[in-house]
Structure 1
Amino acid sequence: MKQVCLLDAPFAAGEAVDRFAAALPQAGGIVSFTGQVRAGDGCEALELLHYAPMTLPGMAALADDALGRWPLDGLLVMHRCGVMLPGETIVLVAAAARHRRDAFLAADFVMDHLKSEAWFWKREKRGDTWHWIEPRAADYSDISRWQ
């Protein structure tokens, strides 16, 4: 089971994970990661822009890569685009497998790729001014583990 969604409106991550888990009763472990817009440091908003012809196909190809690397029962990838406020969910990755280690590794793999090789341009609004955000050195270091 593979579900990949690109959304321009808020979504309830907990409800999505509950539906995902209910559809996969054979899974022995379900791992999920939810990323949200950080509050503080003067952040007023976060905006994710993307190139539509590449974004969803790229996300689907990433999910296929994860499904090919680990014996998963299912993979769920939900990602927001547009303007988000502090506390709003940006991304949800959930992996279901017979054994927990496969689910952990798959979710980590997908998140590492979304953080550094995704099809999104990110900017943050602070003090009524927008600032572009680039991947950090740690993001590139994280993704290098999977080469």
Structure 2
Amino acid sequence: MAAPSRAPVFISGVLALAAYEGAYITEIIRAGIQSIDKGQWEASAGLGFSRGQQLRYIIFPQALRRIMPPLAGQFISTIKDSAIVSVISIQELTFQGTELMAATFLTFEVWFTILVIYFVICLACALLVEHIERRLKRPSRAH
């Protein structure tokens, strides 16, 4: 957690990233839901489902399969976009790296380390999403 004197800057950074990325994520989810055929809505309404039940049991599970790839890309982009907050002096990874380079003059080594850290984080996110996508493609087993 940030020191008390840094807390307002930290909160500003979190809020700015949340608003920026939230707009993209909201649009991805909206587009995924709207991509489901109108017949699915009509069929679930014909079965007597409420609007909430339609979304929960019929529409959203289908939309989730469609929104996972762009949503994963957006989450990975959020990790990379976190470097933007260094503009308001939040000491994230890239900011810390630049400070370390100024102190040690080890430019290549520091940039390479930053690259590896970002790569590992983004790769882990991509593999997690790939795992989730595979699980969503499996047919559900009735018990």
Larger Rg: 2
TM-score normalised by structure 1 residue count: 0.31
TM-score normalised by structure 2 residue count: 0.31
The structure with more helix, counted as a fraction of residues:
2
The structure with more strand, counted as a fraction of residues:
1
Report 1 or 2 for greater relative contact order, CA contacts < 8 Å, sequence distance ≥ 6.
1
